[in-house]
Amino acid sequence: MKYSPHKYQEYATDFILEHPVSAVFIDLGLGKSVITLTAIFDLCLDSFLVRKVLVIAPLRVARDTWPAEIKKWDHLNGLSYSVAVGSEAERKAALMQRASVYIINRENVQWLIEESGLTFDYDMVVIDELSSFKSYQAKRFRSLLKVRPFIKRIVGLTGTPSSNGLMDLWAEFRILDLGKRLGRFITHYRNAYFQQDKRNGQVVFSYKPLPGAEEKIYAAISDITISMKAADHLKMPECFHNDAIVTLSPKERKAYDAMRKDLVISLKGEEIDAGNAAALANKLSQMANGAVYGEDKRVFQIHDRKLDMLEDLIEGANGKPVLVAYWFKHDLERISERLHKLHIPFRFLDSSDSIRIWNNGELPVALIHPASAGHGLNLQAGGSTLIWFGLTWSLELYQQTNGRLWRQGQKSDTVVIHHIIAKDTIDERIMFALLKKDKTQTALIDAVKANLEVHT
pLDDT score recorded for residue 438:
65
pLDDT score recorded for residue 113:
96
pLDDT score recorded for residue 146:
95
Q: How confident is the model at residue 454 (pLDDT cuts 50, 70, 90)?
A: very low
Name the more confident of 100 and 6: 100
pLDDT score recorded for residue 376:
55
pLDDT score recorded for residue 228:
80
pTM metric for this prediction: 0.70
pLDDT score recorded for residue 420:
95
Q: How far is the C-alpha of 135 from the C-alpha of 148, rounded, in Å? A: 16
Give the DSSP letter of residue 271.
Answer: E
Contact between 439 and 298 under an 8 Å Cβ cutoff? The reply is: no
Q: How far is the C-alpha of 40 from the C-alpha of 34, rounded, in Å? A: 10
Q: What CATH number labels 7-233+443-455?
A: 3.40.50.10810
Q: What residues does each domain of the chain span?
A: 7-233+443-455, 235-248+304-423, 250-302
Q: Which residues contact 244 (CB under 8 A, 6 or more apart)?
A: 309, 312, 313, 418, 419, 420, 421
Give the three-class secondary structure for 192. Answer: helix
Q: Which residues contact 312 (CB under 8 A, 6 or more apart)?
A: 244
Domains 7-233+443-455 and 235-248+304-423 share a fold: yes
pLDDT score recorded for residue 359:
87
Least confident of 2-11, 58-67, 305-314, 369-378: 369-378
Average pLDDT of span 214-226: 91
Q: How far is the C-alpha of 239 from the C-alpha of 405, rounded, in Å? A: 10
Q: How confident is the model at residue 456 (pLDDT cuts 50, 70, 90)?
A: very low
Least confident of 11-20, 265-274, 338-347: 265-274
Name the more confident of 235 and 89: 89
Buried b / exposed e across 353-392, counting CB within 10 Å, b at 16+? ebbebbbeeebbbbbbbbeebbbbbbbbbbbbbbbbbbbb
Average pLDDT of span 57-81: 90
Q: How far is the C-alpha of 255 from the C-alpha of 237, rounded, in Å? A: 42
Gap between the terminal Cα atoms of the chain: 26
pLDDT score recorded for residue 80:
95
The per-residue pLDDT of the chain, averaged, comes to: 86
Contact between 82 and 101 under an 8 Å Cβ cutoff? The reply is: yes
Average pLDDT of span 51-80: 91
Q: How far is the C-alpha of 227 from the C-alpha of 446, rounded, in Å? A: 7
Strands 270-273 and 264-267: antiparallel
pLDDT at residue 334 is higher than 50? yes
Domain at 235-248+304-423, CATH homologous superfamily: P-loop containing nucleotide triphosphate hydrolases (3.40.50.300)
pLDDT at residue 382 is higher than 90? no
- Residue 102 pairs in a beta bridge with 54, 82
Q: How confident is the model at residue 455 (pLDDT cuts 50, 70, 90)?
A: very low
Q: How far is the C-alpha of 277 from the C-alpha of 280, rounded, in Å? A: 5
Residue 415 class from Cβ within 10 Å (0-12 exposed, 13-18 middle, 19+ buried)? buried
Average pLDDT of span 260-282: 63
Residues 417-426: pLDDT tens digits?
Answer: 999 999 999 9
Q: Which residues contact 429 (CB under 8 A, 6 or more apart)?
A: none
What percentage of residues in the chain have a pLDDT greater than 90?
Answer: 51
Name the more confident of 453 and 444: 444
Q: Which amino acid is at 376?
A: G
Give the DSSP letter of residue 114.
Answer: I
Contact between 28 and 230 under an 8 Å Cβ cutoff? The reply is: yes
Average pLDDT of span 310-330: 90
